Chain A
Amino acid sequence: MTDLSAETADEPVISLTKVSRVHGSGAAAVEALKGVSLDVAAGELVAVMGPSGSGKSTLLNLAGGLDRPTSGRVVVEGADVGALPPKRLAEMRRRHVGYVFQDLNLIPSLTAVENVMLPRELDGVRTGRARSEASHALAEMGVAEVAGRFPDEISGGQRQRVAIARAMVGVRRVLLADEPTGALDTPAGDDVIQALRARADSGSAVLLVTHEPRYAAWADRVVFLRDGEIADSAAAQASV
Chain B
Amino acid sequence: MSIRHGLLALLTQGPRYGYQLRVEFEASTGATWPLNIGQVYTTLSRMERDGLVAPGEQDDQGRVVYAITDEGRSELSRWFGTPIAQADRPRDELVIKLAMAVTAPGVEVRQVVQAQRSATMRTLQSLTRAKRAEPGTAQRLVLDSMIFQAEAEQRWLDHCESVLAATSPSAPPPAGAPSSPARPSRTAHSSQE
Interface positions, chain A 73-91, Cβ under 8 Å from B, are none
* Whole-angstrom CA separation of A34 from B122 in the bound complex: 25
Would A237 and B118 count as touching, CB distance under 8 A? Answer: no
Would B114 and A232 count as touching, CB distance under 8 A? Answer: yes
**Residue from A227, A228, A234 in contact with B121 in the complex, judged by beta carbons closer than 8 Å:** A234
Would A234 and B122 count as touching, CB distance under 8 A? Answer: yes
- Closest-by-CB residue of A relative to B119 is A234
- Using a Cβ cutoff of 8 Å, how many contacts connect chains A and B? 76
Would A31 and B154 count as touching, CB distance under 8 A? Answer: no
Interface positions, chain A 156-214, Cβ under 8 Å from B, are 197, 213-214
Would A237 and B125 count as touching, CB distance under 8 A? Answer: yes
* Whole-angstrom CA separation of A218 from B179 in the bound complex: 32
Would B122 and A237 count as touching, CB distance under 8 A? Answer: yes
Would A214 and B147 count as touching, CB distance under 8 A? Answer: yes
Using known A-B contacts A29-B176, A55-B175, determine if residue A239 contacts B118 with beta carbons closer than 8 Å: no
The answer, yes or no, to whether B54 is at the interface (CB within 8 Å) is no
Counting chain A CB atoms within 10 Å of each CB, the highest count among B127, B128, B161 belongs to B128
- Closest-by-CB residue of A relative to B117 is A224
Residues of B within 8 A of A218 (CB): 125, 128, 132
Residues of B within 8 A of A227 (CB): 172-173, 175, 179
* Whole-angstrom CA separation of A233 from B174 in the bound complex: 23
Would B172 and A234 count as touching, CB distance under 8 A? Answer: no
The answer, yes or no, to whether B126 is at the interface (CB within 8 Å) is yes
* Whole-angstrom CA separation of A28 from B80 in the bound complex: 62
Count, chain B residues at interface, CB 8 A: 29
* Whole-angstrom CA separation of A218 from B125 in the bound complex: 6
Report the minimal beta-carbon distance from B127 to chain A, rounded to whole angstroms. 7
- Closest-by-CB residue of B relative to A54 is B175
The answer, yes or no, to whether A236 is at the interface (CB within 8 Å) is yes
**Residue from B114, B128, B172, B176 in contact with A31 in the complex, judged by beta carbons closer than 8 Å:** B176
The answer, yes or no, to whether B124 is at the interface (CB within 8 Å) is yes
Would A51 and B125 count as touching, CB distance under 8 A? Answer: no
The answer, yes or no, to whether B151 is at the interface (CB within 8 Å) is yes
**Residue from A22, A53, A54, A213 in contact with B150 in the complex, judged by beta carbons closer than 8 Å:** A213
Using known A-B contacts A31-B176, A214-B124, determine if residue A232 contacts B129 with beta carbons closer than 8 Å: no
Could you jot down 6 A-B contacts, CB within 8 Å? A227-B172, A227-B175, A234-B122, A235-B122, A236-B129, A237-B126
* Contacts from B to A (Cβ < 8 Å): 114-115, 117-122, 124-129, 132, 147, 150-151, 154-155, 158, 161-162, 172-176, 179
8 tightest CB-CB pairs across the interface, nearest first? Answer: A30-B176, A217-B124, A213-B154, A234-B121, A236-B125, A217-B128, A31-B176, A234-B118
